[in-house]
Structure 1
Amino acid sequence: MKIVRRLGLSPRERGSLSNATCPDIFELSDGSFAVIGTDRTSELISQLPADAAVADHERIVVIDRETLVAARRDIPRLPRGRQSPE
């Protein structure tokens, strides 16, 4: 699995000059996405709805709204009528 491309603007383009906080979103070669964000699992896990869970190998990662909005134009859409695999 490899990083294919960044979605949205780089942290520097979004105004991060220190690289102290650099949330980011990347598309991977297998079609999935990697997110750099703040691990907030312990804070949010108790607030998940009953039909959601976090496996031992998973974390709830938070990115700021600006990062996701900046990536919106780069997120590929599924062809009409096709559902996301689960």
Structure 2
Amino acid sequence: MATISDRLVGMAVMFVAVMVMCYYSAWVIVLPFVDEDNLAQKFFLPWWWAVVLPTTLLLILIVFIGTFVGVVVLKNSRQAAKSHHD
């Protein structure tokens, strides 16, 4: 069973994820149809960041996953080699 603190952390993470998705959706879908002199334009970064940020985050995620898999494979191979010597 999840504790109260686990539930609060989960709800906070979900809230942040929903807010980021709403912001990004408005930035990418709605903002191109809003005039450049509109006040709403001041709340968003320039359009090219809409491509650069997700691409950078995806590359970081791929490197993290690759590193994690590599560490696990090396650790398992070392344990297998050690158990074969015994």
The TM-score with structure 1 as length reference comes to 0.22
**Higher RCO by CA contacts (8 Å cutoff, separation 6 or greater):** 1
Q: Would you tell me which structure has more helix in proportion to its own residues?
A: 2
Structure number with larger C-alpha Rg: 2
The TM-score with structure 2 as length reference comes to 0.22
